[in-house]
């Protein structure tokens, strides 16, 4: 099951010490990644990528549920393979974009922006699993 974290809950938390990361990426499990909604109806939401495959789309059964008509029911998948994350468009109507370029499949790097419909999500990686560097 993919977890959703709301950024507004962080407002009640104590501010981090100067030597602590603000984004929380360092606290991710080894080999996991995070998608943060930068633009769209769910701005600020965070989606944990900690499985081999995570689906994104407008269908309520999607791991990442993006409820907007610009998103196909089955829009894209985020797949983890050999320590890398790949986004794959699974036949969406409006396409999937990485850093504003249309893609069918793309290997993601830390800080990449993935666009699915009107949602823009920033891809952030956590620590690597041992032996995958």
Asked if pLDDT for residue 130 goes beyond 70, the answer is: no
Tell me the CA distances in angstroms from 93 to 12, 55, 96, one per residue in order: 40, 16, 9
Contact 77, 70 (CB under 8 A): no
pTM above 0.75, yes or no: yes
- Domain boundaries defined on the chain: 33-121
- Of 19-33, 59-73, 117-131, which gets the smallest average pLDDT? 19-33
What pLDDT score was predicted for residue 129?
A: 60
Cα–Cα distance for residue pair 104/91, rounded to 1 Å: 9
The strand pairing partners of 122, in sequence order, are 36, 113
Distance, CA of 87 to CA of 85 (rounded, Å) = 7
pLDDT at 124 over 50: yes
- Is pLDDT at 98 greater than 70 in this prediction? yes
| pLDDT over threshold 50, residue 9 | no
CATH architecture assigned to 33-121: Sandwich (2.60)
């Amino acid at each position: 099951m993919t977890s959703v974290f709301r950024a507004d809950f962080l407002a009640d938390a104590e501010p981090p010490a100067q030597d602590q990361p603000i984004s929380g990426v360092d606290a991710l499990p080894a080999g996991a990644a995070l998608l943060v909604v930068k633009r769209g109806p769910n701005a600020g939401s965070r989606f944990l990528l900690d499985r081999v495959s995570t689906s994104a789309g407008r269908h309520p059964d999607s791991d990442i549920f993006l409820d907007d008509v610009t998103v196909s029911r089955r829009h894209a998948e985020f797949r983890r393979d050999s320590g890398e994350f790949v986004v794959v468009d699974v036949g969406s109507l409006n396409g999937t974009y990485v850093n504003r370029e249309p893609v069918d499949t793309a290997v993601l790097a830390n800080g990449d922006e993935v666009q699915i419909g009107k949602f823009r999500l920033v891809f952030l990686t956590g620590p690597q699993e041992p032996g995958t560097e």
